[in-house]
């Protein structure tokens, strides 16, 4: 607990704010490794890192591999501070407004699609221990994290999810997680507070194509089955681009990684 208080203070977020959003963000033994240039960047307001974040969220900077080392502390402060929650709130509120205004059919075929990682579930506890995206992706370490089923819900996404269900929409989870992670993902969603979804679609374990093609193909299958994709919520541009992406797309912020 003392470690959590120290890290929350270091990152510029109050413990109350961080605890409400992610009650298990920092576990015992996890720590930040801010480098000297990260400290300098943070002390000057992180202007280069702000520009970098703007470029990735607007999809002007693509196919990047890791967060720049000098932006580690900037990304950590963003994710654990107020702004990440505020940005997510703006996105999900606009999604809810659109859902309210849409002329539903009430035949059970109007759906909303949600991605999982950094959309429905937060992997921030994992990435906090790995330099907030500055380290190369380690599939074995991430698989171990997924199996722990400890990922908390992104609070504003969970609120939108429940609101959409009350409006009569069906929910489809379309994830880039592979099929062998189904059981852990299913159980983690339940623990995080998600209930009564219509479908949970995983990537085949032997799939070798791009995330964009995979998600486009799966959305096509949903449309072929008679579903109408009203809204599509994701944190990656590969969640939202391609074909049959829905009447409206809503992108959540994610400065941790980029998926093609």
pLDDT in tens, 216-232: 999 999 999 999 999 99
pTM, two decimals, is 0.85
Res. 38: pLDDT tops 70: no
**pLDDT for the residue 246:** 92
**pLDDT for the residue 30:** 41
Res. 183: pLDDT tops 60: yes
Res. 4: pLDDT tops 80: no
Rounded CA separation 28/26 (Å): 7
Number of C-alpha atoms within 13 angstroms, CB side, residue 128?
Answer: 26
Q: Which domains does the chain have, with CATH numbers?
A: 2-251 (3.40.50.1000)
Find the distance separating the first CA and the last CA of the chain, reported in whole Å.
37
**pLDDT for the residue 25:** 46
In the chain, pLDDT over 90 holds for what percent of residues? 81
Is residue 66 packed enough to be buried (19+ CB in 10 Å), middle (13-18) or exposed (0-12)? Answer: middle
Q: What is the mean pLDDT of residues 168-181?
A: 98
**pLDDT for the residue 221:** 97
**pLDDT for the residue 6:** 36
**pLDDT for the residue 46:** 76
User: pLDDT tens across 95-115, in order?
Assistant: 999 999 999 998 999 999 999
More confident residue, 61 or 21: 61
Res. 29: pLDDT tops 80: no
Rounded CA separation 155/82 (Å): 13
Q: What is the mean pLDDT of residues 178-195?
A: 98
Res. 26: pLDDT tops 60: no
Can you name the residues that pair with 201 across neighbouring β-strands? 174
């Amino acid at each position: 607990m003392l470690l959590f208080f120290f890290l929350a203070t270091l990152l510029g977020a109050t413990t109350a704010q961080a605890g409400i959003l992610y009650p298990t963000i920092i576990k015992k033994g996890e720590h930040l490794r801010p480098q000297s240039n990260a400290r300098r960047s943070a002390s000057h307001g992180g202007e280069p890192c702000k520009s970098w974040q703007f470029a990735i969220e607007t999809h002007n900077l693509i196919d990047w591999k890791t967060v720049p080392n000098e932006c580690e502390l900037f990304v950590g402060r963003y994710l654990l501070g107020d702004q990440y929650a505020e940005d997510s709130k703006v996105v999900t509120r606009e999604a809810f407004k659109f859902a309210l205004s849409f002329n539903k059919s009430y035949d059970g075929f109007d759906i909303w699609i949600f991605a999982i990682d950094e959309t429905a579930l937060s992997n921030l506890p994992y990435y906090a221990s790995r330099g907030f995206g500055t380290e190369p992706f380690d599939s074995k370490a991430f698989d171990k994290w997924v199996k722990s089923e400890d990922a908390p819900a992104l609070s504003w996404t969970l609120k939108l999810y429940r609101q959409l269900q009350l409006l009569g929409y069906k929910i489809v989870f379309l994830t880039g997680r592979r099929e062998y992670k189904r059981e852990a993902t299913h159980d983690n969603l339940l623990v995080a507070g998600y209930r009564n979804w219509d479908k949970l679609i995983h990537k085949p374990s032997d799939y070798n194509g791009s995330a964009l093609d995979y998600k486009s193909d799966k959305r096509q299958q949903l449309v072929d089955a008679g579903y109408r994709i009203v809204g599509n919520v994701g944190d990656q541009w590969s969640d939202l681009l391609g074909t049959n992406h829905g009447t409206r797309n809503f992108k959540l912020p994610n400065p941790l990684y980029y998926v093609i």
